Structure 1
Amino acid sequence: MTTLITRIKKNIPILIAGILFACTQLAHASPEIQHWQNAQGSQVFFVAAPELPMVDIRITFDAGSARDGNKPGLALMTNGLLAEGAGKLDANAIAERFEDIGAKFRNNADRDTASLSLRSLSDTQWLKPAVDNFVTVLSEPNFPGIALERERQRALIALRGEKQSPQSLSSNAFYANIYNDHAYAAPTLGYEENMATLARGDIQTFYQKYYTASNATIAIVGDLDRKEAESLANTLTAKLKKGEKPAAIKPVAYTLKNKQIHIEYPSTQTHIMVGMPSHIRGDKDHFALFVGNHVLGGGGFGSRITKAIREDRGLAYSAYSYFAPMRAQGPFVVGLQTSNTQTKEALQVLNETVATFIKEGPDDNELAAAKRDIVNGFPLRIASNSSVLNYVSLIGFYGLPLDYLNEFTEKVDNITKEQVREAFANRIKLDQLLTVTVGQSTDEG
């Protein structure tokens, strides 16, 4: 067995190479994405990155919590149990096999997706056993009952903890109300009452339905040529059944009108979330909304919301806004924390700032500064294999153009004030915003 010290020594050159690779990426900020369908019907997206002797792999399935049906928490539990026992290996044996060859494995699930990721050295003596172990986890999970009960108890503890977290209370109430009976309404972690009843059979059925080759998007970034990448992609899903892609997530039917929800909580600060569903990934207005939001609340200390809330009035340390596009319409969110006694004033300033921006859009200086920040910061977004992998996975799963990264800065540069104003006016309706507050009520606030 390779010792830890030996592995560290072997990885020192990789760390040095990683620094050089980051510098190289800064100068070459537009990786070429190759695409094909493998022998099992999976979509494959590949970026050759020979600068570093590493390979990063991610397999993404349309198997997020939006597929939970009437069993919230099922997608996350299924994904979380994949590495708890597979083939003839228990969780410890799986972890040790990855560790002994210096490979890194992780899995994750959100509302849209469930994924498994692997990072390994590209040399065959390290990559082959890493991929073999990865394929075993992916293709032969046995979902042991003892692991299910252990993870169920962990999930129940986390769910009870959320009841003591103002941030979780506000987020869960926000999603439940803007999405109502839509698949995005329930939290990915689920609810206590559902978690207590999840059965091993539920998990096996979910896995068999959604973890299929036809439902898989493979992203590979690393020190391989096309032929090697094709062989790797075929190996990754060779043991999965072909299956079928699931039906599309239905669009969001949003009908709220200026709804306000307050959750009483014994704290000195009130958490505020304001927003509504906005747009899907790949929407024609995405770049206008993205650039505009940098001015409104996504650009840190230079944004309008931060200036109005923090700098001008000292109502909060942090205030922000963001868009989170998904398969169906993801949310536009504005948020902050403020003293209970200042909640009313903070909300008034927040709403006035958003309303003014929707009406007028950014001025010339704000737009120019936002474009400059985004364009100058773009190379850092793809300055490593792992960050490129994130983009390639996103591009593949959501069906974005293969030249998305190549065109990114040009699309940002071409956005006009009129496009920003029009996009915000079309997507964000002041009379339809949901407001959620979590804190202690006061006469002043």
Structure 2
Amino acid sequence: MRPFLRTLSILWLVLWLPLAQANSPEIRHWQLDNGARVYFVQTETLPIVDLRVTFDAGAARDGEQAGLARLTNSLLSQGAAGLNADELALAFESVGARYSSGSERDMAWLQLRSLTRPEALTAATDTLAMILAAPEFPEADLERQRRQMLVALQAERQSPPTIAERALYEALYGDHPYASAPQGTEDSVRALSREAVVEFHEQYYTAGNAVLAIVGDLSANEARELSERLLADLPAGDRAPQLPEPEPPEPQTVHIPYPSAQTHVLIGQLGIARGDEDYFPLYVGNHILGGSGLVSMLVHEMRERRGLSYSSYSYFVPSAERGPFILGTQVRADRTGEALEVLENLFVEFRAEGPSADRLQAAQENITGSFPLNIDSNRKIVGYVSMIGFYGLPLDHLDTFIGQVEAVTQAAIVSSFQNRLDPEHRVRILVGPEGILADEDE
């Protein structure tokens, strides 16, 4: 048995070390004459190219029409340049290309995977160019998509985690654009019009508001030609204006009655924006606190020591402006008060003292050891490159990632948690049966 294990260990090192020691992908950047920002990574492993066009056109731009950004994005491929949805889908399928799209609070995107064979790539990108610049937003498809959104919203009423998340953002952000859920509300979705969709597309789906990420087996010249051809018909436009800075909320507890045996708990406060100088200490610290699954401090305390909950976690949502920091768990309803006390006390203790040296070392080894797997495919790389371009992060972000993680100290974690997080401005959301707390904030 021992010789077998020794052989297996050697094989694992042979396979893993090249990944761990490999350089991160080199990112090249240029800006087109129409203002579009382009980021390119050349890979030569497969004859495939992945590209993603991202716009500052997420739910934070909805204004008073919640759900507008998502409805607009979902309708782009339903009809364009005289072709209906089936014809556009066939145009992609006939050359083996895959199209997808999506939107969240900060952004909306369209993504394409294609073979690099010239005739296939040209056909696929020409189809995508039509969807980008000449969508028709057919009325019948808009109504169908509206019905789908309403069905999804009705289903959310039966989902305590979704109810809790929506309530957290509303309580945490108040009048700020981040308070608006990307999926909208039933009332807001019913009120959306085709005219509003057209106006939203004209305002935000412009070259000046676009970031194009390209990853694949292309030369730099080929990537430049592709970017110019793909975005040539987009109007120049301007970048969307910067969002306002959110104000810290007053501490409060929101209890949403729900007939269940468990209480879904979220405790949130303002976290950080992308590019924050404390990002890496906070990232590593959160990995230790509640971001590493079954080995996190939260799970150890809540599950192993006290038997309160199988699932407990914490995470940051770095965004264009300060996204939330969230602690979460699900507990038996009659132990909700105890769970809240444990969660909040553990956070306060961690904020004051930070992790032990052993926990810090284990977290750094875990993060750096798994990092190569995060960039082991074109699709994963294009997601990172798109994020780097959209948020204006340094081009060497991936190249310096491991070094930045390894440089984090216990003192840096304590300092960053104390500088960026304040338990006096926390919001609690409880979704569960009546009478789960003896006293709640008004």
Return the TM-score normalized by structure 1: 0.93
Q: Percent identity?
A: 42
Partner of 1:391: 384
Report the CA distance between 1:96 and its aligned residue: 1.3
Distance 2:50 2:21 in 1: 21
Residues 337 and 436, structure 2, Cα contact 8 Å, conserved in 1:
no
> Where does 1:19-418 land on structure 2 (aligned, <5 Å)?
28-257=22-251, 259-418=252-411
Q: What's the secondary structure of 1:196's corresponding residue?
A: helix
SS of the aligned residue for 1:184 comes to helix
Residues 97-130 of structure 1 show CA distances to partners (whole Å, capped at 9, x for unaligned) of 1112111100010000010000001111211111
Distance 1:211 1:146 in 2: 22
Q: Is residue 23–residue 383 contact of structure 1 (8 Å, CA) maintained in 2? A: no
Counterpart residue type for residue 204 of structure 1: V
**Residues 130 and 23 of structure 1: CA distance in aligned 2, closer, same or farther (over 3 Å):** farther
The CA distance in 2 between the partners of 1:435 and 1:380, in whole Å, is 35
Q: What TM-score does the superposition give when structure 2 sets the normalisation length?
A: 0.94
| SS of match in other structure, 1:395 | helix
Separation (CA, whole Å) in 2 of partners of 1:97 and 1:426 = 52
Residue 443 and residue 334 in structure 1: after superposition, are their counterparts in 2 closer, same or farther (change >3 A)? Answer: closer
The residue identity in structure 1 corresponding to 2:74 is G
* Structure 1 residues 393 and 113: alpha-carbon distance in aligned structure 2, compared to 1, 3 A threshold: same
Cα distance in structure 2, aligned partners of 1:38 and 1:442? 60
**Distance across 2 between alignment mates of 1:282 and 1:270:** 35
Secondary structure of the structure 1 residue equivalent to 2:306 = coil
Task: Tell me, in whole angstroms, the C-alpha distance in 1 between the residues paired with 2:20 and 2:39.
Answer: 22
Give yes or no for contact 1:340–1:441 (8 Å, CA) kept in 2. no
Q: Which amino acid aligns with 2:62?
A: D
Give yes or no for contact 2:20–2:369 (8 Å, CA) kept in 1: no
Query: Relative to 1, partners in 2 of residues 1:374 and 1:67: Cα closer, same or farther, differing over 3 Å?
Result: same
The CA RMSD over aligned residues, in Å, is: 1.5
- Which residue type is aligned with residue 185 of structure 2? Y
Per the alignment, do residues 86 and 290 of structure 1 end up closer, same or farther by CA in structure 2, a change over 3 Å counting? same
Query: Aligned-pair distance for 1:363?
Result: 1.0
Structure 1 residue matching 2:242: 3-state secondary structure: coil
The count of residues paired between Structure 1 and Structure 2 equals 424
Matches of 2:54 and 2:259, distance apart in 1: 41
Aligned residues of 2:249 and 2:426 also touching (Cα < 8 A) = no
**Is the CA contact (8 Å cut-off) linking 2:351 and 2:417 kept in structure 1?**
yes
Tell me, in whole angstroms, the C-alpha distance in 1 between the residues paired with 2:84 and 2:16: 37
How far did 1:385 drift? Answer: 0.4
Query: Which runs of no fewer than 5 residues in structure 1 stay unpaired?
Result: 1-20
Q: What is the Cα deviation at residue 39 of structure 1?
A: 2.9
Displacement after TM superposition at 1:255 (Å)? 3.1
Is the CA contact 1:367–1:417 (under 8 Å) kept in the aligned structure 2?
A: yes
Secondary structure at the counterpart of residue 135 of structure 2: coil
User: Structure 2: which amino acid aligns with 1:256?
Assistant: E
Q: Answer yes or no: is the 8 Å Cα contact 1:29–1:382 preserved in 2.
A: no
Deviation at 1:429, TM superposition (A): 1.1
1:434 aligns with 2:389: no
Q: Distance between the aligned counterparts of 2:393 and 2:436, measured in 1?
A: 50
